[in-house]
C-alpha cells in the first residue's frame, strides 16, 4: 500500500513538473482580417497567446510602433521583413524563478492607406517555461495606446 | 583551492542577481549646453501641455529592471523620473516630457521603459 502511494506521489510530481515546463502558445495566429473589424480594438484569445488588432496607422508607422513596443517589453528582434517581425524576450536569472525567452511573432498586413491589420502571437519554450508568460495582449494594448498618442 | 572557486562562484552569482539595473540611451539634439549639477531643478511636463516656446535638447530612452525579491521594485514615477532628472541635468535642460512609457512584469522581474525628450524652457528660468 505504501509503495502504491509512493509511486502515485512521484507520478503526480512528474506530471506537475512537465506541466510547468511544457511548450505553449502558437506561432501562427488564428485571426484574419475582415471588414467588420473596428479600428484600434484588440481581439484577444482567452489565454493571451494570440491577439489581433486593426491599428489606425499605415504600415510604416505601425511597424515603428511595433518595434518600439517590443523593446518596451524587454525583447530583442531576431528577424524581420516588410510584413513580419520575430522577437525574443531577454532572459533574466532570478532568485527563485528566471524569466524571459518567450518568442513573439508579429505579422502586419497593409489593408488600406490608413490602417494595418496586425496579429501578435507568443510561444513559450520548454526550458524555463515556468517563468514565462503570454505577452500578446499587453503588446496589442500598448500598440493601441501608442497609436492614439 | 576549492574554497577560492566557491567564493568566486558566489561573487559571480551575486553580481548577476543585482536588485536593479538601468540602461539609458541619450541622443543630444541642437545646441550643446553646459551640464548642470546632478540635483538641478527639473520640471516634468505633460505632452499635451507644452508651452509655446521651448528648445529640444535631446531624446532619452531608458530601461530599468528590478528583482522584487531583492528589493528592486521599479516604477515610472520613482526610479524612472529619477533617471530622467539626472540625464536632463547632464544635458543642461530644465524640463522633460515623457512621450511614451511602459511598465511590465514577469516572474520576479519588474521593468520600466520610458521614451522622453529633454527640453529647455526659457519661461521657467
> What are the pLDDT digits (tens) for B60-74?
999 999 998 887 778
- The alpha carbon of residue A79 is apart from the nearest alpha carbon of chain B, in Å, by 22
Q: What CATH number is attached to the domain comprising A125?
A: 3.30.310.80
Nearest CA-CA partner of B55 in B94, B112, B108, B105: B94
- The alpha carbon of residue A42 is apart from the nearest alpha carbon of chain B, in Å, by 18
According to DSSP, residue B35 is labeled P
Prediction ipTM score: 0.78
Does residue A16 sit within a domain? no
A contacts of B63 (beta carbons < 8 Å): 71, 74
Cβ atoms of residues B118 and B87 within 8 Å: yes
- What are the distances in angstroms from CA B27 to CA A37, A107, B8? 39, 30, 38
Dihedral sign from CA coordinates of A126, A132, A137, A143 = negative
CB contact under 8 A, A99 and B107: yes
Does residue A5 sit within a domain? no
Does residue A100 sit within a domain? yes
What are A16-44's pLDDT values in tens digits?
554 455 678 888 999 999 999 999 999 99
The grid cell for B52 is: 509655446
- Return d(Cα B98, Cα A64) in angstroms, integer: 18
How much is the pLDDT for B3?
A: 72
How much is the pLDDT for B53?
A: 93
- DSSP-assigned letters across all residues of A49-117: SEEEEEESS-HHHHHHHHHHHHHHTTEEEEEEETTEEEEEEPPB--SS--B---EEEEEEEE-SSS-EE
Which residue segment(s) compose the domain that A139 sits in? 23-148
Number of domains in chain A: 1
Amino acid at each position: 500500500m505504501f509503495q502504491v502511494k509512493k509511486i502515485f506521489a512521484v507520478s503526480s510530481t512528474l506530471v506537475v513538473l512537465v506541466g510547468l515546463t511544457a511548450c505553449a502558445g502558437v506561432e501562427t495566429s488564428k485571426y484574419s482580417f475582415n471588414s467588420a473589424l473596428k479600428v484600434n480594438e484588440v481581439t484577444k484569445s482567452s489565454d493571451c497567446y494570440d491577439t489581433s488588432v486593426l491599428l489606425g496607422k499605415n504600415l510604416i508607422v505601425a511597424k515603428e510602433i511595433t518595434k518600439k513596443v517590443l523593446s518596451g517589453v524587454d525583447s530583442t528582434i531576431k528577424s524581420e521583413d516588410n510584413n513580419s517581425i520575430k522577437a525574443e524576450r531577454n532572459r533574466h536569472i532570478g532568485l527563485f524563478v528566471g524569466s524571459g525567452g518567450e518568442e513573439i511573432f508579429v505579422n502586419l498586413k497593409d489593408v488600406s492607406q490608413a490602417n494595418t491589420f496586425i496579429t501578435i502571437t507568443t510561444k513559450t519554450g520548454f526550458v524555463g517555461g515556468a517563468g514565462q508568460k503570454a505577452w500578446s495582449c499587453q503588446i496589442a494594448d500598448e500598440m493601441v495606446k501608442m497609436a492614439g498618442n | 583551492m576549492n574554497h577560492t572557486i566557491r567564493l568566486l562562484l558566489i561573487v559571480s552569482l551575486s553580481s548577476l542577481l543585482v536588485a536593479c539595473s538601468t540602461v539609458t540611451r541619450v541622443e543630444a539634439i541642437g545646441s550643446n549646453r553646459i551640464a548642470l549639477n546632478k540635483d538641478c531643478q527639473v520640471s516634468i511636463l505633460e505632452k499635451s501641455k507644452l508651452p509655446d516656446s521651448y528648445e529640444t535638447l535631446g531624446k532619452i530612452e531608458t530601461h530599468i529592471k528590478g528583482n522584487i525579491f531583492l528589493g528592486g521594485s521599479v516604477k515610472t514615477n520613482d526610479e524612472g523620473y529619477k533617471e530622467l532628472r539626472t540625464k536632463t541635468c547632464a544635458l543642461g535642460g530644465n524640463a522633460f516630457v515623457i512621450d511614451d512609457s511602459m511598465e511590465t512584469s514577469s516572474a520576479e522581474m519588474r521593468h520600466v521603459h520610458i521614451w522622453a525628450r529633454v527640453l529647455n524652457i526659457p519661461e521657467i528660468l
